[in-house]
Structure 1
Amino acid sequence: MLKKIRIEQLQAGMYVHTLCGPWLAHDFWRTAFLVDTPEVLAKLRASPVQELWIDTRKGLNTQDALPDSVLTAFTADTAPSSLSQEMVRASAICDEAGDTVMRMFSEARMGHALDLSTASTLVQAVYSSVERHPDALISMARLKTSDNYTYLHSVAVCGLMVALARKMNLNAEQTMQAGMAGLLHDMGKAHSDPRILNKPGALTDEEFKHMQRHPVKGFLMLQATVQDEEVLDACLHHHERMDSKGYPHGLAASDIRLLTRMTAICDVYDAITSDRPYKKGWAPGVALQRMAQWCNTHLDAQIFEVFVKAIGLYPVGSLVRLQSGLLGVVCAPAQNSMSTPQVAAFYHIGLQRMLRPAKLLDLEKLPNERIVAGEDPSKWPFTNLEQLWQKAAATATA
Structure 2
Amino acid sequence: MLKKIPVGRLRPGMFIHEMCGDWMSHPFWRAQFVLKADGDLRRIVDAGIQHVYIDTDRGLDDVEAVAADEVKAAVEEEISAALSAPPEQILRVSVREEMARARKVHEQAHKVVRTMMSDVRLGKAVSLEDAEPVVEAITGSVLRNSGALMGLIGIKNKDDYTFLHSVSVCTLMIAFGRSLGLAGDELRQGGIGGLLHDIGKMKVPDEVLNKPGRLTDAEFDLIKQHPGDGHAVLLDTAGIGPVPLDITRHHHERLDGSGYPDKLAGDAISTMARMAAIVDVYDAITADRCYHKGLPAAEALRKMWEWSTDHFDQKLLQAFMRCVGIYPVGSLVKLESGRLGVVIEQNDSSLLTPRLRVFFSTKSNGYIKPEVVDLGRKLGSGGGDRIVSAEVPDKWGVDPRRFLLVDA
Which of residues 323, 329, 342 in structure 2 aligns to 1:310? Answer: 323
The residue aligned with 1:375 is: 390
Secondary structure of the 1:148 match is helix
Secondary structure of the 1:329 match is strand
Return the offset for 1:371.
2.7
Structure 1 spans left out of the alignment, 5+ residues: 1-77
Report the AA paired with residue 308 of structure 1: M
Report the AA paired with residue 178 of structure 2: R
Secondary structure of the 1:364 match is coil
Residues 312-359 of structure 1 deviation map (CA, whole Å, 9 limit, x = unaligned): 12112333333444333323222443222112234445x454352233
Whose RCO is larger (CA < 8 A, sep 6+)? 2
Secondary structure of the 1:315 match is coil
The residue aligned with 2:203 is: 191
Residues 206-251 of structure 1 deviation map (CA, whole Å, 9 limit, x = unaligned): 1111111000000011012254212211110110111111111111
Which whole-Å CA distance do the structure 2 matches of 1:348 and 1:124 have between them?
41
The residue aligned with 1:364 is: 376
Write out aligned runs for 1:22-41 (5 A). Answer: none
The residue aligned with 1:248 is: 261
The residue aligned with 2:174 is: 162
Return the offset for 1:281.
1.0
Which whole-Å CA distance do the structure 1 matches of 2:280 and 2:403 have between them?
27
The residue aligned with 1:179 is: 191
Report the AA paired with residue 319 of structure 2: V
Moved more, 98-107 or 316-325: 316-325
The residue aligned with 1:53 is: none
Report the AA paired with residue 233 of structure 1: D
Moved more, 335-344 or 239-248: 335-344
Write out aligned runs for 1:224-235 (5 A). Answer: 224-225=236-237, 226-235=239-248
Q: Report the count of equivalent residues.
A: 315
Which whole-Å CA distance do the structure 1 matches of 2:386 and 2:256 have between them?
34
Which whole-Å CA distance do the structure 2 matches of 1:133 and 1:265 have between them?
21
Secondary structure of the 1:308 match is helix
Residues 32-86 of structure 1 deviation map (CA, whole Å, 9 limit, x = unaligned): xxxxxxxxxxxxxxxxxxxxxxxxxxxxxxxxxxxxxxxxxxxxxx993221221
Question: TM-score, normalized by length of structure 1?
Answer: 0.74
Retained in 1: the 8 A contact 2:254–2:264? Answer: yes
Question: TM-score, normalized by length of structure 2?
Answer: 0.72
Retained in 1: the 8 A contact 2:152–2:330? Answer: no
Which whole-Å CA distance do the structure 2 matches of 1:353 and 1:251 have between them?
50
Return the offset for 1:395.
4.1
The residue aligned with 2:41 is: none
Write out aligned runs for 1:1-398 (5 A). Answer: 80-225=92-237, 226-348=239-361, 351-366=363-378, 369-377=384-392, 381-384=395-398, 387-395=399-407
Secondary structure of the 1:178 match is helix
The residue aligned with 1:23 is: none
Structure of higher CA gyration radius: 1
Which whole-Å CA distance do the structure 2 matches of 1:239 and 1:230 have between them?
15
Shift of the 370–79 alpha-carbon distance from structure 1 to 2, 3 Å rule, reads closer
The residue aligned with 1:50 is: none
Report the AA paired with residue 303 of structure 1: L
Retained in 2: the 8 A contact 1:318–1:374? Answer: no
Report the AA paired with residue 381 of structure 1: K
Return the offset for 1:381.
2.9
Which whole-Å CA distance do the structure 1 matches of 2:201 and 2:230 have between them?
7
Retained in 1: the 8 A contact 2:166–2:194? Answer: yes
Residues 126-183 of structure 1 deviation map (CA, whole Å, 9 limit, x = unaligned): 1001011111112212111111111011000000000000110112221111111100
Which whole-Å CA distance do the structure 2 matches of 1:375 and 1:138 have between them?
17
Which whole-Å CA distance do the structure 1 matches of 2:307 and 2:140 have between them?
31
Moved more, 130-139 or 323-332: 323-332
Which whole-Å CA distance do the structure 1 matches of 2:402 and 2:185 have between them?
32
Which whole-Å CA distance do the structure 2 matches of 1:270 and 1:192 have between them?
20
Which whole-Å CA distance do the structure 1 matches of 2:91 and 2:131 have between them?
23
Which whole-Å CA distance do the structure 1 matches of 2:172 and 2:338 have between them?
32
Report the AA paired with residue 290 of structure 1: K
